[in-house]
Structure 1
Amino acid sequence: MRICVDFGSTFTKAALVDLDRGRIVASASHRTTIPAADGSGDILEGYDACLAQLVDADPRAADAEALACSSAGGGLRIAVVGNEELVTAEAGRRVALSSGGKVVDVIAAAGLPDGAPEDGPYRALGQTTRPDVVLLTGGTDGGNAEVIVRAARDLVEAGWRGPVVVAGNVEAQAEVAAVLAGLPHVLADNVVPRIGVLAPDSARAAIREMFLSHVIGGKHLSGRADPATGAGHQFTAMVRGATPDVVLTGVELLARGLDAERPGVGDVVVVDVGGATTDVHSVVEVDPEDGSVDASGLAREVVATTPVTRTVEGDLGMRWSAVTTVAEAGLADLEDAAARRQQDPSYLPDSDAEADADEAIARAAVGLALRRHAGRSRVVVSPEGRVVERTGKDLREVALMVGSGGVLRNGRPGVADRVLAGSLGAHLEGGWQLPERPRVVVDADYVLAAAGLLAGQHPDAAYRLAMRVLDPLAG
């Protein structure tokens, strides 16, 4: 048995998983208990309430090891520094998003004027944007090393003292590491080893390492000692990663499976509507015949579209971000409802009218988030005549769409169809390349986060758990 926990921005969810059967045998939830400004309270108080519910349902929960992911306390905030805005800085932004982070700043170092770094954008990192981690990229392998070295030096001189993940020109790593010697830093493989290639895996692992070793404890969400050792902190011992990163691992498992005997479902899109953000995860294998790659397999784009992609929309959500969601969607009639939800993030609808408002906010968040994640097509005139030009990620042939989030899991019958209306189907206005004829399911038991938590140590149980998205009652 294992307990899988997600400390969310609004609610803490916990599930007791039977590893032998690969299924959830009990679930619980409680409002996330963020400590007050004076330091009173503890995030584990919400977990204690969940644990009590699980034990009531199944006494085996009392002795089960707990694994957790967290987006509480603002989640993982990442600033990206790269050479050029459209190349390594953009590559870094995509990698940061796929690592479970919210990108709070992107700095193109090559475009900065010479001068005192304390007067430039690096100063904002410590004063306004306040990231948890800086992802430092720049240069292809063997290419320009000057900019990434100067960026590292400017970071230090501007007063940055937080963690840094270095994922640029590998030939500059030794010099960059020397500059960052007084800061916590990790060296990863280059995210853009050559033009047309995006290699996120090493940097994702390094960001996860920084989140676990330096970020999660630094948020001071809990002061409770680890009961197993009597030292350290129970909360940090439980956490295995940022929630979006863990969920993306579960989505990859659902899409790709483990092996020939345990296959995945193929291309999939997951949209997760949360209280503070709306996340979209997609695993869509790139077709070498679709014109997005050349004969050698390299992307025609300077920064390649990767099969595994995640975007996080920090202005789209059901509670903390309700006001900005309705403003972005132009829903003036929902302004009062959105304000009430922002003021009371634990609010639950108590009438059909309020449930209608919740669904309308969710529909706006989903529609905007999917369009920001996907590519689009347009007709252009070329020397060969009128042709269709496609950019970004093409989701039209995706066969499975998974909805997640409390509004979908706990809503009225048919909520998924109503919330996704306007975001699925062929010939959508604007040329958006959104799924045309997908099967739509809801992750009603929140299994993808649990599958992501278990994937490393218990892959078979994680696989069977992920497949329950398709049929929660199977087995």
Structure 2
Amino acid sequence: MRALLIDFGSTFTKAVVADLAEERVVSSAKAPSTVDTDIRHGLASALEKLGLTLGDLSDGPFEYKLACSSAAGGLKMVVVGLVPKYSAEAGRRAALTAGAKVIGVYSFELTKSEVASIEAQEPDIVLLTGGTDGGDKKTITHNARMLAASGLKCPILVAGNKEARDDVVEILSSAGKEVYWTENIMPELGKLNVRPANEKIREIFLKRIIQAKGLDKVTGLLHILMPTPSASLRAAELLAKGTKSLGGMGELLAVEIGGATTNVYSVAEGKSKLPGVVEKGLEEPYVKRTVEGDLGVRVSAESLMEAAGLERILSKMREYSTDVRPEAVEEHIRMLRRQTSYLPRTYFDWLVDEALARSAVELGVERHVGRLEEIPTPMGRFYVLTGKDLTEVETVVGTGGPIVNSKRPWKVLGEAVYDESRPFVLKPKNPELYVDRDYVFWAMGLLSGEEPDKALKILLDSVSPVRPG
């Protein structure tokens, strides 16, 4: 009994064959993605390396044929809410945990220029929220009218004040918009309810986005379940919590570097154990995902260089080589953005890739974890915590090609560890570092919905500790 698991990535199409009886990965392969032409070509190339053809998907010996995708920019969403730190932030979290890439967040009443900006971004879904149940109705109704008058062709998901829902849906439907609705993502102030929105986003992804991304060409061959980040988030949760019959690794932080983005997942309570700490903002979810669209190592290589700064990248390279010329590094990074399937061939190539990966982990984890702010008062000092305190997390897992294929994965993952020179950035202090050796995080996330015990056993076998040397 075998499972074929496919990921249509922004850079590569990856295939994994798992033997479910023996609970192990039999083989894996990848080939450049071909979403801009015909997605089947990249799939066929990956399958060929496994000794398979597209025809084997119709009558091959597979119990499961499951797929996920982050191709063609992934699932791009815009969130429109009321107050930035409440409903708009709740909407952003709902989109992220559904596996989306949030490309814009708008608050209060939309203006004409903001609507034009949303149109220009060409989102796959707009999430319209705002107002607690029984609270403000005016803003979400105004925003519905603005979106109804827009040129947007994408689905609009309404997840705001339930007392405004009927009017909002009617406004959008009357304008010919494709509209869906679900429960309010923040029915009470500070109380999150994101699961119904997650499920509805996945429903829209399966119903409409698959066709828009060209994935409908393989739906007769594979069961496409979800965006890739959703699969990886499921894997992180499975690895941490375990199943009813098999224990997991406990609270953890996972980092996944790709060609277009860096995703960071935490499965941890994240409460501070320091005395006198006051928490600020919405309550943090136990299972959390953040995605950084400017921290990919191929499609987003130039934006990663801008975010990190060229000097940061050069300094990481100079730890291993004195012959590092800034102009050569900069030109190489620009080449990576143009040639997204390029793989390292020389020591210089490896150094650039490693420095980019280290920078992506450093910045991605910094943006994911919480921060402490010290506040002096006449009664003494106290601290304000924004986000999750992950200093006590004992496990950091790395996945994605730039980590899995790194010659020094401990250096890459070491960037996720607490830095004493920046004590208020709450990264794990003394974690054990692990690498997803077989690169099956996403694959086991897919399989977990069908065979959770087998998926966990394969995942636990793949996750290996790494240390200098």
Please tell me whether the aligned partners of residues 253 and 466 of structure 1 are also in contact (alpha carbons under 8 angstroms).
no
In structure 1, what is the equivalent of residue 401 of structure 2? 406
In structure 2, what is the equivalent of residue 297 of structure 1? none
**SS across alignment from 1:387:** strand
Deviations 1:195-217 (A, max 9, x none): 22222211111111111111121
In structure 2, what is the equivalent of residue 63 of structure 1? 61
Deviation (angstroms), 1:428: 4.1
TM-score scaled by structure 1? 0.87
CA distance in 1, matches of 2:9, 2:25: 19
In structure 1, what is the equivalent of residue 99 of structure 2? 100
CA distance in 1, matches of 2:378, 2:98: 41
Alignment equivalent of 2:157, drawn from 148, 162, 165: 165
CA distance in 2, matches of 1:285, 1:179: 40
Q: Does 2:268 correspond to 1:284?
A: yes
Alignment equivalent of 1:441, drawn from 431, 434, 447: 434
Task: Report the AA paired with residue 318 of structure 1.
Answer: V
Q: Does 2:305 correspond to 1:319?
A: no
CA distance in 1, matches of 2:275, 2:80: 30
CA distance in 2, matches of 1:212, 1:193: 27
Task: Report the AA paired with residue 200 of structure 1.
Answer: V
Deviation (angstroms), 1:376: 1.5
In structure 2, what is the equivalent of residue 230 of structure 1? none
CA distance in 2, matches of 1:293, 1:44: 53
Please tell me whether the aligned partners of residues 97 and 289 of structure 2 are also in contact (alpha carbons under 8 angstroms).
yes
Alignment equivalent of 2:232, drawn from 243, 247, 261: 247
Deviations 1:107-145 (A, max 9, x none): 1134x4xxxx6x33123322x111000011111122112
Q: Does 2:347 correspond to 1:352?
A: yes
Task: Report the AA paired with residue 284 of structure 2.
Answer: T
Please tell me whether the aligned partners of residues 185 and 193 of structure 2 are also in contact (alpha carbons under 8 angstroms).
yes
Please tell me whether the aligned partners of residues 195 and 302 of structure 1 are also in contact (alpha carbons under 8 angstroms).
no
CA distance in 1, matches of 2:274, 2:177: 44
Deviation (angstroms), 1:293: 10
Please tell me whether the aligned partners of residues 13 and 28 of structure 1 are also in contact (alpha carbons under 8 angstroms).
yes
Alignment equivalent of 1:273, drawn from 257, 264, 267: 257
Deviations 1:36-74 (A, max 9, x none): xxxxx31111111222222369x9983324211001111
Deviation (angstroms), 1:286: 4.7
CA distance in 1, matches of 2:276, 2:225: 35
Which aligned runs of 4 or more in structure 1 are off by greater than 4 angstroms?
A: 286-294
> How do 1:22-101 residues align onto structure 2 when only pairs under 5 Å count?
22-35=23-36, 41-55=37-51, 62-64=60-62, 65-101=64-100
After superposition, the Cα gap between the structure-2 partners of 1:264 and 1:291, relative to the gap in structure 1 and judged at 3 Å, is: farther
In structure 1, what is the equivalent of residue 316 of structure 2? none
In structure 1, what is the equivalent of residue 243 of structure 2? 258
CA distance in 1, matches of 2:358, 2:116: 38
Please tell me whether the aligned partners of residues 22 and 460 of structure 1 are also in contact (alpha carbons under 8 angstroms).
no
Alignment equivalent of 1:308, drawn from 270, 282, 287: 287
CA distance in 1, matches of 2:52, 2:43: 14
| Structure 2, unaligned runs of 5 or more | 312-325
- 144-153 or 76-85, which deviates more: 144-153
Alignment equivalent of 1:215, drawn from 199, 206, 209: 209
Please tell me whether the aligned partners of residues 77 and 101 of structure 1 are also in contact (alpha carbons under 8 angstroms).
yes
Please tell me whether the aligned partners of residues 397 and 463 of structure 2 are also in contact (alpha carbons under 8 angstroms).
no
Deviation (angstroms), 1:288: 8.9
CA distance in 2, matches of 1:74, 1:396: 33
CA distance in 2, matches of 1:136, 1:393: 26
TM-score scaled by structure 2? 0.88
Deviation (angstroms), 1:250: 1.2
After superposition, the Cα gap between the structure-2 partners of 1:291 and 1:199, relative to the gap in structure 1 and judged at 3 Å, is: farther
CA distance in 2, matches of 1:354, 1:458: 39
Deviation (angstroms), 1:180: 2.7
CA distance in 1, matches of 2:343, 2:272: 47
CA distance in 1, matches of 2:22, 2:164: 49
Q: Does 2:220 correspond to 1:234?
A: yes
After superposition, the Cα gap between the structure-2 partners of 1:466 and 1:190, relative to the gap in structure 1 and judged at 3 Å, is: farther
Please tell me whether the aligned partners of residues 95 and 102 of structure 2 are also in contact (alpha carbons under 8 angstroms).
yes
In structure 1, what is the equivalent of residue 168 of structure 2? 176
After superposition, the Cα gap between the structure-2 partners of 1:158 and 1:292, relative to the gap in structure 1 and judged at 3 Å, is: farther
CA distance in 1, matches of 2:144, 2:364: 33
CA distance in 1, matches of 2:44, 2:52: 12
How many equivalent residue pairs?
442
In structure 1, what is the equivalent of residue 9 of structure 2? 8
After superposition, the Cα gap between the structure-2 partners of 1:437 and 1:164, relative to the gap in structure 1 and judged at 3 Å, is: same
- 69-78 or 198-207, which deviates more: 198-207
Deviation (angstroms), 1:189: 1.9
Q: Does 2:138 correspond to 1:146?
A: yes
In structure 1, what is the equivalent of residue 323 of structure 2? none
Task: Report the AA paired with residue 248 of structure 1.
Answer: L
Deviations 1:12-59 (A, max 9, x none): 111011223332111111111123xxxxx31111111222222369x9
In structure 2, what is the equivalent of residue 374 of structure 1? 369
In structure 2, what is the equivalent of residue 470 of structure 1? 463
Deviation (angstroms), 1:403: 0.7
**SS across alignment from 1:86:** helix
| Structure 1, unaligned runs of 5 or more | 36-40, 227-232, 295-299
Deviations 1:176-202 (A, max 9, x none): 222232333332222112122222211
**SS across alignment from 1:72:** coil
After superposition, the Cα gap between the structure-2 partners of 1:421 and 1:471, relative to the gap in structure 1 and judged at 3 Å, is: closer
- 2-11 or 173-182, which deviates more: 173-182
Task: Report the AA paired with residue 67 of structure 2.
Answer: A
Task: Report the AA paired with residue 90 of structure 1.
Answer: E
After superposition, the Cα gap between the structure-2 partners of 1:315 and 1:23, relative to the gap in structure 1 and judged at 3 Å, is: same
CA distance in 1, matches of 2:97, 2:86: 17
Please tell me whether the aligned partners of residues 274 and 406 of structure 1 are also in contact (alpha carbons under 8 angstroms).
yes
Task: Report the AA paired with residue 200 of structure 2.
Answer: A
Deviations 1:416-454 (A, max 9, x none): 111133431352425210011111111121222112112
**SS across alignment from 1:204:** helix
Task: Report the AA paired with residue 63 of structure 1.
Answer: P
After superposition, the Cα gap between the structure-2 partners of 1:251 and 1:291, relative to the gap in structure 1 and judged at 3 Å, is: farther
**SS across alignment from 1:54:** coil
